[in-house]
């Protein structure tokens, strides 16, 4: 099933017939078997699927962290596959934001310094209004001087979100951002991600296996066995859960 449905100018990222194979010969494992996905600007997309379905692999390929075996991936209108390390570094620095499951903040920097890090790496100055807006959105204005070890998990992840937002990237990739958080802190982060899409116009792609998390997205793309198998727009947690069950049964039948 194809999830392609928009024109190029509205796309933040795109995968065209992407295959990803690990290993060689008999030990070959195909993680992606011809995936086509369009990710629209200003949308919060969740990618769902059971473990091993290829959802994380796709995200890694889209972000230029992993290479594709076949097919093409684009961020905005730039072809990611075939880029040199230098180009990839620039791409990640200027066009992509990341939110990791394990936060991955630098322990020796304060929250504010962590937030500003991508700009510092790029040698850019933050625009004060934007920075103020981002900080206000994450709700950490009284915590800016703290080190990550002095923050709770939810606060750390919100710092990580702000770090991804601050450089106004083309697209933010979030890999199980609530995987390490309790449900309350998780809900806070998800609400914040949704707000940043709605109020700041950010594009976010989130990989998750939690139906509740996926329900915060504008659109959910379902993965199974290296394919896109379905998608829902304006999802509710129940709808996502139903779809998951359906895919599960389909797979078992197949």
Partner 1 sequence: MFKATLKSVLSRKLRLLLSGLAVVLGVTFVSGAFVLQDTLGRSFDAQFAGAYDDIDLQVAAKARVSGSAGDAASAPVGLDAATVRRVADVPGVGKADGDIRVEGARALGKDGKVVPSTGGPRYGKGWTGETSLLALRKGHAPAKPDEVAINAGLAEKGHFSVGDSIGVLTGQPKRSFTVAGIFGYSGDRDSIGGEQTVAFTEPVARELMLGHNGQYSAISVDLASGAKSATVKAALKKELGSGFEVRTGEELSKASADRSREILDLVTQVLLGFAAVAVLVGVFLIINTFSIIIAQRMRELALLRALGASRRQMIGSVLLESLVIGLVAAVIGLGLGVGLGALGASLLAGTIKGLEVADLAVPANAVVVSLVVGVGVTMLAALFPALRAAKVAPIAVIRSAVAPDRKHRKQTWTGSVLLVLGAALLVMGLAGSGDAAMSAVLPGVLLTFIGVTLLTPLISRPAVWLLGGLFSRSLPGQLGRRNSARNPRRTAITASALMIGVALVTTLSTVAASAKDSVNNEISDKLKSQLVAMGDSGDSMSASIDPAALRQARGVDGVEAVAAASFDTAKVGKDTQSVSSWEDWGAARGMLSLRAEAGSIDELAPGSVLMNKATAKDRDLKVGDKVTVQLQRGEPRSYRLAGTFEDMALANSVVIPWADATEGFRNAQPSQAFFELAADASVASVQPGIEKALRDSPEVTVQSKDAIAQKFNDGFDMMLNLVQALLAVAMIIAVLGIVNTLALSVMERTKELGALRAIGLGRGQTIRMIMTESVVISLFGAVLGVVVGAGLGLAVAHSMRSQGVNTLSLPWSLMAVYLVGAAIVGALASLGPARRGARLNVLRAVTQE
Q: Nearest 10 degrees: CA dihedral of 46, 49, 50, 55?
A: -80
Instruction: Indicate which single residue of 49, 54, 97, 211 sits in contact with partner 1 (rule: CB under 8 A).
Output: 97
Q: Which of 202, 246, 240 is nearest to 221 (CA)?
A: 240
Instruction: Give the integer Cα–Cα distance in Å for 209 and 215.
Output: 11
- The whole-angstrom separation of Cα 110 and Cα 107 is 8
- Does 111 bind partner 1 (CB under 8 A)? Our answer is no
Binding of residue 93 to partner 1 (CB under 8 A): yes
Residues 62-81 that bind partner 1 (CB under 8 A): 63, 65-66
147 binds partner 1 (CB under 8 A): no
23 near partner 1, judged by CB under 8 A: no
Compose the 158-187 pattern: x for residues touching partner 1 by CB under 8 A, - for all others. -----xx----------x------------
Q: Is residue 84 within the footprint of partner 1 (CB under 8 A)? A: no
Nearer to partner 1, 47 or 232 (CB): 47
How far apart are alpha carbons 102 and 122 in whole angstroms? 23
Strands 29-40 and 11-22, by their bridges, are: antiparallel
* CB neighbour list of residue 33: distance below 8 Å, 6 or more residues apart: 19, 54, 225, 226, 227
Number of residues that bind partner 1 (CB under 8 A): 31
Nearer to partner 1, 40 or 93 (CB): 93
Among the residue ranges 26-34, 121-129, 202-210, 223-231, the one whose residues contact partner 1 (CB under 8 A)? 121-129
Angle formed at CA 120 by CA 114 and CA 125, multiple of 5 degrees: 110
Query: Residue 16 or residue 116: which is nearer to partner 1 going by CB?
Result: 116
> Is the distance from CB of 212 to CB of 238 less than 8 angstroms?
no
Closest to partner 1 by CB, 60 or 219: 60
> Which of 26, 85, 129, 142 contacts partner 1 by CB under 8 A?
85
Name which of 45 and 57 has its Cβ closer to partner 1.
57
Taking CB under 8 A as the criterion, the residue among 14, 55, 92, 219 binding partner 1 is 92
In the chain, how long is the greatest CA-to-CA distance? 56
State the Cα angle at 116 between 113 and 117, rounded to 5°.
Answer: 80
Categorise residue 71: left if φ over 0, alpha if ψ from -120 to 50, beta otherwise. left
Interface with partner 1 by CB under 8 A: which residues? 60, 63, 65-66, 85-86, 89-90, 92-94, 97-98, 100, 102, 104-109, 117-118, 120-123, 149, 163-164, 175
């Amino acid at each position: 099933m194809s999830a392609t449905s928009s024109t190029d100018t509205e796309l933040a990222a795109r995968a065209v017939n992407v295959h990803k194979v690990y290993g060689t010969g008999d030990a070959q494992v195909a993680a992606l078997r011809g995936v086509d996905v369009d990710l629209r600007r200003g949308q919060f997309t969740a990618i769902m699927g059971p473990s091993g379905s290829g959802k994380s692999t796709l995200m890694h390929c889209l972000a230029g962290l992993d290479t594709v075996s076949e097919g093409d991936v684009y961020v905005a209108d730039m072809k990611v596959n075939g880029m040199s390390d230098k180009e990839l570094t620039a791409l990640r620095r200027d066009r992509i934001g990341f939110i990791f499951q394990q936060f991955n903040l630098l322990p020796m920097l304060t929250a504010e310094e962590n937030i500003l890090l991508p700009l510092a790496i790029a040698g850019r100055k933050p625009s004060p209004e934007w920075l103020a807006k981002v900080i206000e959105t994450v709700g950490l204005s009284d915590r800016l001087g703290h080190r990550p070890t002095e923050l709770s998990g939810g606060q750390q992840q919100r710092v990580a979100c702000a770090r991804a937002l601050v450089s106004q990237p083309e697209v933010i990739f979030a890999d199980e951002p609530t995987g390490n958080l309790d449900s309350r802190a998780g809900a806070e982060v998800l609400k914040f991600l949704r707000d940043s899409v709605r109020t700041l116009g950010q594009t976010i792609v989130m990989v998750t296996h939690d139906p509740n998390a996926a329900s915060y997205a504008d659109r959910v793309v379902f993965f199974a066995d290296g394919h896109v198998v379905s998608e829902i727009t304006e999802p509710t947690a129940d709808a996502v859960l139903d779809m998951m069950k359906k895919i599960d049964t389909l797979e078992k039948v197949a």
